[in-house]
């Protein structure tokens, strides 16, 4: 297939449909000089374009409010306010009166504003650069008569494949799952947030498709194979038949796996493995419970703050957490505190950082912003009244961080008590083990935490020094690297020596080969994306612990990730043969 563009598998599934290109970038603007007689007409044309952009933003805002909530819709209210700024109209009109065409006049003003905002010492102003860019693109598109690529325009039932460079939060909230069948992006990796979101939404996705936007045309027919990580352009009739047959086979396999979703995951030698789900949004909780998940091993809370215009208050957070807790009755729900940097918060005053993955983020940011952190802790303590809530701290590298967090948790409880608000005492506090420092120093935490949860995505990133979001490095992001396996093994051993619960909540556990390795390393609790729950349960039911342990022992002796993968794959195939559920998932 010479018409195939190869990327990285991000979310399984095969879909066929027309391309919906989303070129979300500022277009080139011609430098037109207009005669004096045309000035009034150009000003009127500019004002008309602004009104059209505002109408479009109001439609997008209303749609976001219906589908995602008022907080997410607030993104677009900010952009409407920018267009209603009197200084914008005044400065653009001034340039037009100097005989510039409306497009160039508007372009110059927005470029000036974006530079000013980007250099501002105020983080709030810097955060507005993204909004300015969105406004810049929308108004110029109307002035230049360019096609409107807004995803909100894709009609229901279009079954379109959204092709774009990246999927920003403001674009994500516009996605209509009844119109978009799959996602293809030029950037990202399997562990990027776009990929995680796609898996959570159940949308097939391929990321890291270099130059896809420039190589494809709108309405061009493509096959997106999220399982293999390829996009086939203008497939032949024979190829379409092949992909349709594969899609049908995958659907049948998934349906078969779902039949066993409620069965316990017990190995052939009688060892029980608990399979929980990773949840990104409260709406996913019911899907996760339906897939057979025995609780939530990781509830990410970043959806509450990323891309928002204001921080969520205690009541909003309490409602969001409670929805997930109630969906699982009395089963454990592990909720991770905010795992974002100051640059992602909808409040200002934080400095920009050249390397945010190694910067002021997660527990570091939360401890330095106690009033912000305690709002979340109070909401969690209240939500714990409705079930088995466990609080997990991300990016912990020192015992002081745990003790400081514990102190703020106690203060939050006292505040609730003074207010007379019901809450639960003694909520378990645990940490994500996702850095080599946390693994090597794991003994230091055992007296202060209730559990370890291994975050494999970041553990791989920090151990191998490979940026998980860099598509150019996707081939070097190797979770089966022997060094990573040894760090996981050590964490399990420390937990076992001190009677501490140890689980894995990284996306690594969702893949059959990885799940096989983790079970062999001694993990008895895995948390995976909701769609993978039946699959991983099926893997567990077909293995013995002794077999998995022997396989991973061979992998640990390997000198490379490739050799370790061969060792594990050979044995997994020996256990299951050519089973469809393996053939359709990774192998």
Location of structure tokens 């990773």: 278
String of b and e for 360-371 (b: at least 16 CB within 10 Å)? ebbbbbbbebbe
The overall longest dimension of the chain from CA atoms, in Å, is 88
Question: Are 492 and 519 in contact, with CB atoms under 8 Å apart?
Answer: no
Cα separation values, 364 from 64, 298, 310, 346, 530, Å:
32, 19, 20, 17, 29
Cα separation values, 486 from 31, 353, 439, 460, 524, Å:
60, 32, 10, 12, 17
454 closest CA partner among 486, 414, 428: 486
Rounded CA gap, 162 and 180, in Å? Answer: 7
Question: Are 360 and 353 in contact, with CB atoms under 8 Å apart?
Answer: yes
Torsion of CA 393, 394, 400, 403, to 10 degrees: 0
Rounded CA gap, 144 and 49, in Å? Answer: 10
Q: 233 CB contacts (<8 Å, ≥6 apart)? A: 3, 4, 5, 215, 216, 220, 221, 222
Q: Which residues pair with 503 in a beta bridge?
A: 453
DSSP structure string for 265-286: -B-TTS-B-EEEEEESSTTHHH
Q: 323 CB contacts (<8 Å, ≥6 apart)? A: 282, 285
3-state DSSP of 371-387: HHHHHHHHHHHHHHHHC
Question: Are 417 and 378 in contact, with CB atoms under 8 Å apart?
Answer: no
Q: Would residue 386 show up in a list of annotated catalytic residues for this protein?
A: no
Which of the following is catalytic: 20, 136, 165, 505? 505
DSSP secondary structure code for residue 100 in this structure: B
Q: What angle do CA 184, 187, 190 make, to 5 degrees?
A: 75
CB atoms within 10 A of CB 329: 12
Rounded CA gap, 261 and 267, in Å? Answer: 15
Q: Would residue 193 show up in a list of annotated catalytic residues for this protein?
A: yes
267 closest CA partner among 497, 575, 487: 575
Which of the following is catalytic: 67, 193, 290, 498? 193
* Torsional sign, CA 173, 175, 176, 182: negative
Q: 280 CB contacts (<8 Å, ≥6 apart)? A: 196, 197, 200, 300, 303
Q: 351 CB contacts (<8 Å, ≥6 apart)? A: 123, 342, 360
Q: What angle do CA 84, 86, 92 make, to 5 degrees?
A: 100
CB atoms within 10 A of CB 144: 15
Residues tagged active-site: 193, 505
């Amino acid at each position: 297939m010479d018409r195939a563009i190869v990327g990285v598998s991000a979310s399984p599934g095969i879909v066929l449909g027309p391309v919906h290109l989303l070129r979300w970038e500022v277009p080139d603007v011609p430098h037109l000089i207009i005669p004096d007689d045309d000035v009034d007409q150009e000003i009127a044309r500019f004002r008309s374009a602004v009104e059209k952009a505002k109408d479009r933003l109001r439609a997008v805002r209303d749609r976001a409010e219906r589908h995602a909530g008022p907080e997410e819709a607030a993104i677009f209210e900010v952009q409407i306010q920018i267009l209603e700024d009197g200084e914008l109209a005044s400065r653009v009109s001034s340039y037009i009166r100097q005989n510039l065409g409306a497009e160039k006049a508007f372009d110059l003003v927005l470029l000036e504003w974006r530079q000013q905002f980007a250099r501002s010492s105020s983080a709030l102003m810097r955060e507005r650069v993204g909004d300015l860019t969105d406004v810049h693109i929308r108004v110029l598109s109307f002035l230049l008569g360019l096609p409107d690529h807004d995803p909100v325009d894709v009609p229901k039932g279009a079954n379109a494949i959204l092709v774009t460079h990246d999927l920003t939060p403001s674009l994500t909230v516009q996605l209509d799952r009844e119109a978009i069948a799959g996602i293809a992006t030029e950037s990202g990796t399997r562990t990027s947030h776009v990929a995680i979101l796609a898996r959570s939404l159940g949308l097939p996705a391929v990321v890291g498709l270099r130059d896809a936007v420039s190589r494809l045309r709108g309405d061009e027919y493509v096959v997106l194979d999220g399982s293999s990580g390829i996009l086939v352009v203008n497939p032949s009739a024979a190829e379409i038949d092949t992909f349709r047959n594969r899609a049908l086979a995958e659907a049948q396999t998934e349906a078969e796996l779902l039949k066993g979703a409620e069965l316990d995951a017990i190995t052939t030698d009688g060892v029980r493995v608990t399979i929980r789900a990773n949840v990104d949004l409260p709406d996913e909780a019911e899907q996760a419970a339906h897939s057979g998940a025995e609780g939530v091993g990781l509830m990410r809370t970043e959806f509450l703050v990323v891309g928002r215009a204001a921080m969520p208050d205690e009541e909003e957070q309490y409602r969001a957490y409670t929805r997930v807790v109630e969906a699982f009755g009395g089963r454990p729900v592990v909720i991770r505190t905010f795992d974002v940097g100051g640059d992602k918060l909808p409040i200002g005053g934080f400095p920009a950082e050249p390397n945010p993955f190694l910067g002021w983020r997660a527990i570091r940011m939360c401890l330095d912003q106690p009033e912000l952190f305690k709002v979340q802790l109070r909401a969690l303590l209240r939500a714990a009244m409705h079930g088995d809530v466990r609080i997990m701290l991300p990016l912990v590298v020192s015992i002081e961080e745990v003790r400081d967090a514990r102190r703020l948790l106690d203060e939050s409880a006292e505040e609730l008590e003074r207010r007379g608000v019901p809450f639960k005492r003694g909520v378990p506090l645990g940490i994500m083990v996702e850095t080599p420092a946390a693994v090597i120093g794991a003994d230091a935490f055992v007296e202060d935490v209730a559990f370890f949860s291994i975050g494999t995505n970041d553990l791989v990133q920090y151990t191998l020094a490979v940026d998980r979001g860099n598509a150019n490095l996707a081939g070097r992001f190797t979770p089966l690297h022997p060094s990573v396996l040894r760090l996981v093994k050590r964490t399990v051993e420390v937990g076992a020596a001190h009677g501490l619960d140890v689980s894995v909540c990284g996306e690594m556990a969702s893949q059959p080969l990885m799940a096989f390795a983790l079970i062999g390393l001694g993990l008895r609790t895995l948390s995976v994306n909701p769609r993978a729950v039946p699959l991983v349960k099926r893997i567990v039911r077909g293995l013995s612990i002794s077999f998995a342990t022997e396989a991973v022992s061979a992998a640990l002796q390997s000198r490379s990730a490739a050799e370790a993968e061969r060792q594990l794959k050979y044995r997994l195939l020996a256990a299951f043969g050519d089973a469809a559920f393996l053939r359709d998932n990774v192998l």
